[in-house]
Amino acid sequence: MTPHPAVGRTTGPTDVATTGTTTSSAPPAPPAGAVVGDGSTASATTRARWRRHRTTVVIITLLVVVAALAVLPRPRTSGIPMAPDNPSAAGGRAVAQILADRGVRVEYVRTTSAAVARATAGTTLLVTSTDLLDTTQVAALGRTAADLVLVDPSAPALAALSDGRADRYGARLATGTAVAADCSDPDAQAAGRITVDATGLLLVDGSGVVCFPGGDPGTGAYLVLTGSRRLTAIASAEPLSNDALTRDGNAALALRMLGRHDTLVWYVPSPQDLGTDQVPTPGIGDLLPSQAGLVGVQLLLVALVAALWRGRRLGRLVTEPLPVVVRSSETVRGRGRLYRRSRSYGHAAAALRAGAAHRCATRVGLARSADAATVIDAVAHATSRPSDEVAALLYGPPPTDDAGLTQLARRLDDLESEVHRT
């Protein structure tokens, strides 16, 4: 039988209803904190919803945090030796930042073609190593109009870039060896002493300056050649490194050597560099815009949220024939045992009240659309009971023990009997 619309209400009526000539006010609302209807409280409902949805909430929160971290700007660093973005001991980030603070624009490149394109007249081209460069790349660097600064150059590269005016040989020194300038170059004199682990730079024709002399006669750790452009070579990368920049006069020499012009092209050769004549084949990452990664993360977040939103829907309930016939009495007993085992007095009381209210409303001839206040007034008029008493029986707070549930069932049965006698 389809329940009456007034059946199963969990709160008391709030309107004033009139049946015939009898007018009564709505029964008082249950006290704050009282358990009504099916026995659920606001806090219990909140806890149940949290337990049911906490996994989804945690996943969405983590995705939002990851997306926020992806959007937030963070400093780009690397572990490439002598790179201007390398903060480790062997990096050159400290020198690059000091130069930038002094107004020198540092342009970091990894290919010969980029270095040649940016090394114009009035700029300084720093080459941190020549070991990975072939003769074609060295020749391309030599044709630029920029002032050259070579760090730990090989003998062939130094000879080619100096047009045969300089060479290199000599033994290595202990790391951190302090060497005095002992020359007339103003930059070297300003530094006074530097710490190096190699020397061996020398002049072939004597047209230049060699500073910070080493163990071999005529050799040093610092060489300067002037002419159509300035060529500076330093035999060790140690004075430019983050770890040794504050020792002796390393910082003074590095800033004077690299800060002569407003633009410094910082070239760190790469093993993947194909030279100036070959163009690298762009990969998938090169074909995508710079914001493709961020957009991909956001689309992934939207897809996951949509999957959680749509995937948890169970759809409309459908009916299907039972494989066996279950008697209604067995169903009632089974449900009653479940209620008793779980001590769900609220659900049991709600079922009893729903059945009683439906049968009483049908007996007094109320329409299916009648509200709770109308049912209470009609039952009170039929039984000559006060409206407050009827409201407490049909829509009052649930019992808290077996004795209360038994008493409620007995009183509801008495109320039904009085309605049926009218």
pLDDT in tens, 91-129: 999 999 999 999 999 999 999 999 999 999 999 999 999
Instruction: Let me know: does 328 contact 345? Beta carbons within 8 Å.
Output: no
Q: Among 236, 232, 194, 231, which residue's Cα sits nearest to residue 212? A: 194
Dist CA 421 CA 213 (whole Å): 125
Mean pLDDT, rounded, for 205-233: 87
3-class SS of residue 155: helix
Instruction: Let me know: does 113 contact 277? Beta carbons within 8 Å.
Output: no
pLDDT digits (tens, 9 = 90+) for 131-158: 989 999 999 999 999 999 999 999 999 9
Predicted pLDDT at 307: 80
Mean pLDDT, rounded, for 265-291: 72
> Which of the following CATH numbers is that of domain 93-274: 2.60.40, 3.40.50, 3.30.1450, 3.10.260?
3.40.50
Predicted pLDDT at 281: 57
Chain-centre distance of CA 354, in angstroms? 51
Predicted pLDDT at 38: 52
Type and span of the H or E element at 111: none
Domain extents in the chain? 17-39+344-421, 41-74, 93-274
pLDDT at residue 406 greater than cutoff 80: yes
Which regions of 181-289 does DSSP assign to beta strands (E)?
193-198, 201-203, 209-213, 220-225, 231-234, 263-267
Predicted pLDDT at 40: 55
Predicted pLDDT at 338: 86
Q: Read off the pTM.
A: 0.54
**283 confidence band (pLDDT: 50, 70, 90):** low
Q: Is pLDDT larger for residue 344 or for residue 21?
A: 344
Tokens 């704050």: give the residue: 32
Predicted pLDDT at 276: 55
pLDDT digits (tens, 9 = 90+) for 349-386: 888 898 898 889 888 888 877 888 998 999 999 888 99
Mean pLDDT, rounded, for 388-397: 90
Instruction: Let me know: does 85 contact 100? Beta carbons within 8 Å.
Output: no
Residue 208 β-bridge partners: none
Q: Which of 120-129, 165-174, 192-201 has the lowest mean pLDDT?
A: 165-174
Q: Which residues contact 161 (CB under 8 A, 6 or more apart)?
A: 138, 141, 142, 148, 150, 153, 231
Dist CA 135 CA 88 (whole Å): 31
Q: Which of 227-241, 245-259, 284-298, 370-384 has the lowest mean pLDDT?
A: 284-298
Predicted pLDDT at 344: 86
Instruction: Let me know: does 233 contact 201? Beta carbons within 8 Å.
Output: yes
Mean pLDDT, rounded, for 328-346: 84
CA-to-CA dists, residue 52 to 43, 79, 147, 153, angstroms: 14, 46, 69, 67
Predicted pLDDT at 25: 45
- Count CB neighbours of 119 within 10 A: 25
Q: Among 47, 44, 25, 22, which residue's Cα sits nearest to residue 33? A: 44
Predicted pLDDT at 74: 59
Predicted pLDDT at 7: 39
Predicted pLDDT at 33: 37
What is the CB-side half-sphere exposure of residue 153 using CA atoms within 13 A? Answer: 27
pLDDT at residue 303 greater than cutoff 70: yes
Predicted pLDDT at 314: 65
**207 confidence band (pLDDT: 50, 70, 90):** confident
The conformation of residue 104, written as its DSSP 8-state character, comes to P
CA-to-CA dists, residue 40 to 36, 344, 396, angstroms: 7, 10, 14
Predicted pLDDT at 127: 96
Predicted pLDDT at 277: 54
Instruction: Tell me what the pLDDT averaged over the chain comes to.
Output: 82
Predicted pLDDT at 187: 93
Q: Where are the alpha helices (DSSP H) in 36-182?
A: 42-71, 93-101, 112-118, 135-142, 155-161
Dist CA 135 CA 190 (whole Å): 35
